[in-house]
Amino acid sequence: MKTFTATLALVLTATVMMAYPSASRLTVELAGHRPNTMIVIDGQSYNASNNSVRLEGMMPGDHQVQLMRPSSWGDHGVLFKGVIRVPQRSNVTAVITPQGMKVNAQPLAHNGGSYWDGNGHGHGATVTPNPNGNGGFVSMRPHHQPVFEPVVCAPIVIGMHPDVFASAMRSIEMQSFDSDQVRVAKQIIRLNGASSHQIARIMQLVSFESSRLEIAKFGYQFVGDPENYFVVNDVFWFSSSVRELDRFINGH
């Protein structure tokens, strides 16, 4: 049965590549992300087995990719957004880390050469990256093998942009009472999301331990990097608050 299944998969792959001679193979790999992070490609969700998804028969062009938290709350669950440019007849690999994305493309063998032409030579064309800098591209020189140029995306901002966060801190500080500060903090976190370090900074603005614990519990469901949430423990004055937050997270 296993042999039949493997044979069928090879036949289907070959059929796709024959039906669409310009089709490519796309592999998206995750490094430094939680094992159960979901990969979304062109709106289609994939549960990444071993932090990797491999797709056959990808058409040339720009393909949208996102990473989602296992449990997400609207847009706050998006860890990464980018664009992968897939050339024709290529084996494209995109590696996404918390710092960004690197894409590499290599030609698939075709009729004894590569997709560039029947003899494996280039056509002198150049495929440039898209304007936002995400994705990978391949430049070709006339009558030479293509030169592959991986593109490193800019780091992804987790939580609020620094300018937005600075404005949020001022709004919270302007409130006269702890209860008002907690209310405004919740409103800002709910609408904008936050990183673990930003939640910790917000907690430092309030005076009472109970208020800090309330913000920590509320902020957990909107945080963009829950794996770093341990940093909020340093803001508490009492170990009992740390234990209560831990019970809350484990039961969430």
Q: Closest Cα partner for 215 from 243, 247, 190?
A: 190
For residues 99 and 251, give the distance between their C-alpha atoms in angstroms, rounded to a whole number.
Answer: 30
Residue 36 and residue 127 in one domain: yes
Asked which of 132, 152, 172 is the last residue of a domain, the reply is: 152
Answer yes or no: is 139 within a domain: yes
Question: What's the structural domain count of the chain?
Answer: 2
Q: Per-residue pLDDT averaged across 140-163, rounded?
A: 58
Give the mean pLDDT of 150-172: 78
- One domain for residues 30 and 129: yes
Q: Which of 133, 152, 171 is the last residue of a domain?
A: 152
pTM over 0.85: no
Is the pLDDT confidence value at 71 over 70? no
Question: Which residues constitute the domain of residue 28?
Answer: 24-152
Q: Assess if residue 240 is contained within a domain.
A: yes
Residue 2 lies in a domain: no
Q: Which of 56-60, 77-81, 82-86, 170-174 has the lowest mean pLDDT?
A: 77-81
Average pLDDT estimate for 162-173: 93
Task: Identify whether residues 178 and 222 lie together within a single domain.
Answer: yes
Q: Residues 6 or more apart from 150 whose CB is under 8 A from it?
A: 102, 103, 104, 136
Question: Which range is least confidently modeled, 69-78, 137-146, 182-191?
Answer: 137-146
148 and 166 together in one domain: no
> Is position 222 within any domain?
yes
Same domain, 76 and 184: no
- Among 126, 152, 178, residue at a domain's last position: 152
Query: Do 109 and 225 share a domain, yes or no?
Result: no
For residue range 89-140, what is the model confidence (pLDDT) as tens digits? 889 999 988 878 888 888 876 544 333 333 333 333 333 333 333 334 333 3
State percent of the chain over pLDDT 70.
65
Whether 19 maps to a domain, the answer reads: no
Is residue 146 over pLDDT 70?
no
Residues 32 and 143 in one domain: yes
One domain for residues 144 and 167: no
Cα–Cα dist 157/28, whole Å: 20
Give the percent of the chain with pLDDT over 90. Answer: 33
Kindly state whether residues 175 and 144 are assigned to the same domain.
no
Q: Are residues 219 and 193 in the same domain?
A: yes
CA pair distance 205, 233, nearest whole angstrom: 15
Classify residue 192: in a domain, yes or no: yes
- Does 11 map to a domain? no
Residues 195, 131 within the same domain: no
Is 224 within 8 Å of 195 (Cβ atoms)? yes
Amino acid letter, 250: N
Does 168 lie in the same domain as 143?
no
**Which helix H or strand E contains 200, and what residues bound it?**
helix 196-203
Identify whether 1 is part of a domain: no
